[in-house]
Amino acid sequence: MAKIIDGKMTSTAVREKIKRDVSKFTEETGKTPGLAVVIVGENPASQVYVRNKHKACGEVGIYSEVHELPESINEDELLALIDKLNSDKKINGILVQLPLPKHLDEEKVLLRIDPNKDVDAFHPVNVGKIMIGNFSFLPCTPAGVMELLKHYEINTSGRHCVIIGRSNIVGKPQAMLMLKENATVTICHSKTENLADITKQADILVAAVGRANFVKADMVKEGATVIDVGINRNAEGKLCGDVDFNEVEPIASYITPVPGGVGPMTITMLLKNTLTAAKEQYK
């Protein structure tokens, strides 16, 4: 029976450390780390997420401002706001909440953010730094996964890590972070043949495919660590992950639940990135 990897408990412990570090930073520099979040339109899930970010900043002592823009805003107006935030000394981190309305060019918007303030680590400069292993910021979800493994003292060195999913937000950066920690990495995706044969070789299996209960017991090796990054709704409308928890939990040695696993770590790592950005900018 698997040991549950508790993201809420880990997140609380990490946030306590961030709070102490923010306080120390403010005492030493007289500056408060600052985060600006930009949200366009009225996507309910995005609004909840932005509120949670704002609240989390307040809890650890980070200054936070939210820019709520109408869905009808044009691209030039949005880019002008980003330019303003880029030059604002009290803002160390900028995050544009995705997805954006279809009439806005997401790539163009993300490119406009100063790489030194790109606390989501989506700018190509930061993506390149992750590739060569010389980074300041990490994408928040993959960084949260690594923090959970570290907290539970789950060794990655020499282990075979299989990642299901190749997105720029999770799958690809997750692979780079695992490589940096000396894991042997295989990335699987929708075109992978004989998927179960590959996933059954994994010492650490990361599911980031976006399909409810996709990973079944016959895809998991006995004693594997199973990390579920997915957030989906099942047929009954209940929140669930990419892993069929009830099937897989008896086989795994460690497993993250959904909710309460990787999810709580994402905002926590955003706070950590914002503090890192402040330290770099005030050097």
State the Cα–Cα distance between residues 52 and 87, nearest whole angstrom: 25
CATH number of 30-115: 3.40.50.2000, 3.40.50.10860, 3.20.20.140, 3.40.140.10? 3.40.50.10860
Sketch the domain layout of the chain as residue ranges: 30-115, 140-263
Burial class (CB in 10 A: 0-12, 13-18, 19+), 152: middle
pLDDT at res. 240: 93
Beta strands in 193-275 (DSSP E): 204-207, 225-228, 232-233, 239-240, 254-255
Task: Let me know: does 257 contact 245? Beta carbons within 8 Å.
Answer: yes
Beta bridge partners of 207: 164, 228
Q: Which one of 120, 203, 228, 244 is the catalytic residue? A: 120
Length in residues, the chain: 283
CATH number of 140-263: 3.40.109.10, 3.90.1300.10, 3.30.1360.10, 3.40.50.720? 3.40.50.720
Q: Which one of 21, 97, 174, 244 is the catalytic residue? A: 97
CA proximity to 24, closest of 53, 52, 60: 60
Is 221 annotated as catalytic?
A: no
Q: Which one of 53, 117, 129, 172 is the catalytic residue? A: 53
139: cis peptide before it, omega within 30°?
A: no
C-alpha separations of 76 from 73, 177, 238 in Å: 8, 35, 39
Distance spanning both ends of the chain, measured CA to CA: 48
pLDDT at res. 52: 92
Beta strands in 236-279 (DSSP E): 239-240, 254-255
Q: Spell out the per-residue pLDDT of the chain, length 283, in tens.
A: 899 999 999 999 999 999 999 999 999 999 999 999 999 998 888 888 889 999 999 999 999 999 999 999 999 999 999 999 999 999 999 999 999 999 999 999 999 999 999 999 999 999 999 999 999 989 999 999 999 999 999 999 999 999 999 999 999 999 999 999 999 999 999 999 999 999 999 999 999 999 999 999 999 999 999 999 999 988 888 899 999 999 999 999 999 999 999 999 999 999 999 999 999 999 7
Amino acid at 281: Q
Give the other-Cβ count within 10 Å of 70's Cβ.
10
Task: Let me know: does 94 contact 116? Beta carbons within 8 Å.
Answer: no
Is 120 annotated as catalytic?
A: yes
Q: Which two tokens stand for residue 169?
A: 């937000």
Q: Which two tokens stand for residue 172?
A: 């690809």
Is 281 annotated as catalytic?
A: no
pLDDT at res. 72: 94
